[in-house]
Structure 1
Amino acid sequence: MPEKIGVIGAGSWGTTLADLLAKKGHEVTLWAYEPELVEEMGRTRCNSLFLPGITLSPTLRYTHVLKEAVADKALLLFVVPSQVTRSVVQNALPFLSPSAIIVSASKGIEVETLMTVSQVYGELLPAGLYSRFSALSGPSFAREVAQEMPTAVAVAAEKGEIAKKVQQVFNTDKFRVYTNNDVTGVELGGAIKNVIAIAAGISDGLGFGHNTRAALITRGLAEMTRLGRALGAREATFAGLAGMGDLVLTCTGDLSRNRTVGMELGRGRRLTEILGEMRMVAEGVKTTESAYNLAARLKVEMPITEKVYEVLYRDKSAREAVLELMSRDLKAEEY
């Protein structure tokens, strides 16, 4: 049955998911912060800024007025950078239907509070609305989904009926959605994999090979799992799509913005210069700071995250960071 859906955020992932839902027959309104982008998409059916070369559904509607995208919607999908999630949700609150289902596809940890995205929603939403909150994550480059390449993701909600409803709304023959009830694990996988992807990119930029990348992915998974365990997530979640699946994709794929940042750092470029050339947000840069501080607060050992933080924020050379990782005290392999 078609639903009235608002998609908040017209970056590459928000635009892709709005297009997927519109092509499935739902009545979708896509909100963009930039009025000029709304005008362009309405006129050309293309988001040349964030998703160039993809023709969008003729039924997709566009607006830069948040109320128009939020009011009277059965389902709201928020796809905004994690560091602006709080302000966007606060602005949307007056227009939210009390019976709406809320889906977050943002990946990160808030820098100021060290809250996960779901914790931010839990703080802002009335209890009745938060009971219908879910998180969508998994190995999914926007461009490949937009090109209808087979993709599998997970949606997590505390209530099974909410996860199943979101699964039914999003699932297609090219976009397979699995349900999960571990919201913390699913969203942490989506956040921490970006930090490890920067590390993998640094390794590639330094000219290291597959051995190094495999070690970073595997030990990165250990860090992700340890942090998740400290926050009450299930360890098994990190072996799934939102954990290992997204980690492998982001650490190896050429479409990964976070791996690209790492590669340029490994080649000796400065972070400000790299970010100045990027139109889309590399969530891992801010998430590294929040993950580093959260690990310190919880006394969770995350050595790869620590070294990425030092490269990003303390001007440590990439090569020195790798040497320090390899020179740590010998120990048993642990998760």
Structure 2
Amino acid sequence: MESIRRVAVLGSGSWGTAFAKVIADAGRDVVLWSRRQTVAEEITRLHRNSDYLPDVTLPTNLTATSDAAEALAGADAVVLAVPSQTLRTNLASWRPLLPAGATLVSTAKGVELGSLKRMSEVIAEVAEVPADQVAVVSGPNLAKEVGAEQPTATVIACTDVQRAEALQHACSTRYFRPYTNVDVIGCELGGACKNVIGLACGMADGLGFGDNTTATLITRGLAETARLGAALGADPLTFAGLAGLGDLVATCSSPLSRNRTFGARIGRGDSIAQAQAAANGQVAEGVKSCASIRELGARHGVEMPITDSVYRVCHEALSPRVMAAELLGRARKAEWS
């Protein structure tokens, strides 16, 4: 695998913009695609994205366009930075424009509704490429902190080690440290499930519960994520790493986490619609993913009580306070049973 020199990032939201900045800071030429031309023009001319990262000055080797063909032309790697449930539709429209052999990089964290496919599986299917051409980026990477160049690490997961290493070099900076991993399944499940557990932690906070409750939800949430991973063939060690515990702690603990913040509003009594309105019309990823993750667990006979409870709050109007009582009232058992 040759080195990566030019990168297209498709999606100019907070994480797409932050990750594009990382790659540009690593010395690569980056073209960021934005659906809105006004955003693309602001990024190129003023080196800012005031809608998503207003306090960040973007590098001059990062430009933007609203023309997908222009963004993709000559790219060695293509970063897909769109929400998980819109990935299939977006990628289908970009499919004819993808450069042959380019590494396709998923940053979306979710399981597709209906198909129950992980994002790398959706990419391989829609783009009609082998699985080892698809990489996944996952870790404790809150966009605002990354944009501010606060130190963090991440995981580049790909079954093709050379592709993973090429991408690792393409996004290594003084503040962003990537590690490689071949366990794509584990990294993706960690990233998807943490959004659901983040919602649960937010609900607990909204109910007025403290750090003991948060720590309990993080730990037991990790346990059910690892059970699902084991059923799907993931490496158990992945869940103790950056894409597992690392991402989970950041999402469940930080006020910058959209899922935790969204969950806190639900815990304080907001409806899903009210929480969405407070989030400028955006729905937290876990609200949708809890349905597909719950179904995936059921398909493989995996018990996922927190995920099930979050689903019932989000989609069956279960009260968060009743959810807490039900989780605490479950049958007693050994911790590792």
Q: TM-score range by the shorter chain?
A: over 0.9
- Counterpart contact for 1:2–1:27, Cα < 8 Å: no
Question: Which residue pairs with 2:74 in the alignment?
Answer: 72
Between the aligned partners of 1:40 and 1:28, the Cα distance in structure 2 is: 15
2:5 pairs, out of 3, 6, 13, with 3
> Do residues 249 (structure 1) and 250 (structure 2) align?
yes
The CA deviation string for residues 6-46 of structure 1, in whole angstroms up to 9 with x for no partner, is 00110101101111222332111000112222233233321
Question: Which residue pairs with 1:162 in the alignment?
Answer: 163
Structure 2-normalised TM-score? 0.96
Between the aligned partners of 2:170 and 2:194, the Cα distance in structure 1 is: 26
Question: Which residue pairs with 1:264 in the alignment?
Answer: 265
- Report 1:276-295 matches (<5 A): 276-279=277-280, 280-295=282-297
> Do residues 59 (structure 1) and 61 (structure 2) align?
yes
**What is the identity, as a one-letter code, of the residue corresponding to 1:318?**
P
- Counterpart contact for 1:23–1:57, Cα < 8 Å: yes
Deviates more, 1:258-267 or 1:23-32: 23-32
**Structure 1 unmatched ranges of 5 or more:** none
Structure 1-normalised TM-score? 0.96
The CA deviation string for residues 288-316 of structure 1, in whole angstroms up to 9 with x for no partner, is 11111211222210000011001100001
Runs of 4+ in structure 1 displaced over 6 angstroms? none
Between the aligned partners of 1:230 and 1:9, the Cα distance in structure 2 is: 32
User: 1:131 aligns to what SS in structure 2?
Assistant: helix
Between the aligned partners of 1:105 and 1:15, the Cα distance in structure 2 is: 12
Between the aligned partners of 1:262 and 1:64, the Cα distance in structure 2 is: 33
User: 1:152 aligns to what SS in structure 2?
Assistant: strand
- Counterpart contact for 1:170–1:177, Cα < 8 Å: yes
- Counterpart contact for 1:71–1:97, Cα < 8 Å: yes
Q: Aligned-pair RMSD on alpha carbons?
A: 1.3
- What displacement does 1:2 show? 6.6
- Report 1:138-217 matches (<5 A): 138-217=139-218
Question: Which residue pairs with 1:304 in the alignment?
Answer: 306
Aligned length: 334
Question: Which residue pairs with 1:328 in the alignment?
Answer: 330
Between the aligned partners of 1:52 and 1:73, the Cα distance in structure 2 is: 27
**What is the identity, as a one-letter code, of the residue corresponding to 2:195?**
N
Between the aligned partners of 1:106 and 1:266, the Cα distance in structure 2 is: 26
- What displacement does 1:122 show? 2.2
Between the aligned partners of 2:274 and 2:42, the Cα distance in structure 1 is: 28
Between the aligned partners of 1:29 and 1:281, the Cα distance in structure 2 is: 27
User: 1:68 aligns to what SS in structure 2?
Assistant: helix
Question: Which residue pairs with 2:35 in the alignment?
Answer: 33
- What displacement does 1:127 show? 3.5
- Counterpart contact for 2:111–2:192, Cα < 8 Å: yes
User: 2:150 aligns to what SS in structure 1?
Assistant: coil
Question: Which residue pairs with 1:239 in the alignment?
Answer: 240
**What is the identity, as a one-letter code, of the residue corresponding to 2:185?**
T
Between the aligned partners of 1:2 and 1:248, the Cα distance in structure 2 is: 31
Between the aligned partners of 1:49 and 1:75, the Cα distance in structure 2 is: 25
- Counterpart contact for 1:109–1:115, Cα < 8 Å: yes
Between the aligned partners of 2:60 and 2:158, the Cα distance in structure 1 is: 31
**Structure 2 unmatched ranges of 5 or more:** none
Deviates more, 1:90-99 or 1:273-282: 273-282
- Counterpart contact for 1:141–1:255, Cα < 8 Å: yes
Between the aligned partners of 2:181 and 2:61, the Cα distance in structure 1 is: 31
Question: Which residue pairs with 1:93 in the alignment?
Answer: 95
- Aligned CA distance change for structure 1 residues 328 and 2 (closer, same or farther; 3 Å): closer
- Counterpart contact for 1:265–1:271, Cα < 8 Å: yes
- Counterpart contact for 1:2–1:25, Cα < 8 Å: no
- What displacement does 1:71 show? 2.3
Deviates more, 1:277-286 or 1:130-139: 277-286
Question: Which residue pairs with 2:109 in the alignment?
Answer: 107
**What is the identity, as a one-letter code, of the residue corresponding to 1:185?**
G
User: 1:190 aligns to what SS in structure 2?
Assistant: helix
Between the aligned partners of 2:265 and 2:40, the Cα distance in structure 1 is: 32
User: 1:76 aligns to what SS in structure 2?
Assistant: strand
User: 2:180 aligns to what SS in structure 1?
Assistant: strand
- What displacement does 1:114 show? 1.1
> Do residues 46 (structure 1) and 48 (structure 2) align?
yes
**What is the identity, as a one-letter code, of the residue corresponding to 2:276?**
L
